[in-house]
A and B are shown apart, each in its own frame.
Chain A
Amino acid sequence: AQSVSQHNHHVILSEAASLELGCNYSYGGTVNLFWYVQYPGQHLQLLLKYFSGDPLVKGIKGFEAEFIKSKFSFNLRKPSVQWSDTAEYFCAVSSGGSYIPTFGRGTSLIVHP
């Protein structure tokens, strides 16, 4: 079964700092990759997704992620975070033959103004 690891459980940054959240998965074949964000008190919404093509994917609100197949990774990055980026971030992966994603445990990001 697919497993998804998010190594950083809690991240605390100051505004304007750079962000990188790690995501690794276990499946070696074709994968579909997602990052979702959950702002305080809200439901999950999609930040970005990758299924083929350019391994550097750009999403909403200045976020991007890079798919590195050899490292089984799909790390999320943002050059300069804002207080409004305070949220929980989830990586999700579905294997090529399945449309159902497996979610990581999430990373809680707190950005201090």
Chain B
Amino acid sequence: NAGVTQTPKFQVLKTGQSMTLQCAQDMNHNSMYWYRQDPGMGLRLIYYSASEGTTDKGEVPNGYNVSRLNKREFSLRLESAAPSQTSVYFCASSERGQVPYEQYFGPGTRLTVT
């Protein structure tokens, strides 16, 4: 099992450019998440998908869009990148049920917007 995979690992964009971050999981999890990690800020939730076909905003959704392509894949799109979106982006997945399932994280994408 690869777990949660993310592409690309690194990306440099100019202000105004667009890009899509890809995430896939092979654990048959229902729920998937996108976080950004900034120094001293911890992880902040951008968007999440409770199950295939649904997406919802998290704490910091402005400037981002997501697509839950199927149960395995959850992509994050920056339509017009801004320097404030320079960050490390983590995708995660988890099961859902009566007990609190932990999240499994991908290796991250380090994005720099100049």
Q: Tell me the complex Cα distance, A9–B94, Å.
A: 27
Contact of A32 among B43, B48, B100, B106 (CB under 8 A): B100
Task: Encode contact with A along B58-77: 1 for CB under 8 Å, 0 otherwise.
Answer: 10000000000000000000
Q: Is the CB–CB distance between B48 and A100 below 8 Å? A: yes
Q: Is the CB–CB distance between A99 and B94 below 8 Å? A: yes
Interface size bucket, A side? Answer: 20 to 34
Q: Does A94 contact B (CB under 8 A)?
A: yes
Cross-chain pair count, CB within 8 angstroms: 48
Q: Does B34 contact A (CB under 8 A)?
A: no
Task: Encode contact with A along B15-40: 1 for CB under 8 Å, 0 otherwise.
Answer: 00000000000000001010100001
Q: Is the CB–CB distance between A43 and B102 below 8 Å? A: no
Q: Does A42 contact B (CB under 8 A)?
A: yes
Q: Tell me the complex Cα distance, A34–B107, Å.
A: 19
Q: A99-B31, A103-B43, A105-B40 given as contacts; is B107 within 8 A of A43 (CB)?
A: yes
* 10 interchain residue pairs of minimum CB distance: A32-B100, A105-B42, A103-B43, A43-B105, A44-B105, A46-B102, A103-B42, A51-B100, A43-B107, A106-B42
Provide a sorted-by-A list of 24 A–B residue pairs whose CB atoms are within 8 angstroms: A9-B40, A32-B100, A43-B4, A44-B90, A44-B92, A44-B103, A44-B105, A45-B105, A46-B102, A49-B102, A51-B100, A90-B42, A90-B43, A99-B94, A99-B96, A99-B100, A99-B101, A100-B33, A100-B58, A105-B40, A105-B41, A105-B42, A106-B40, A106-B42
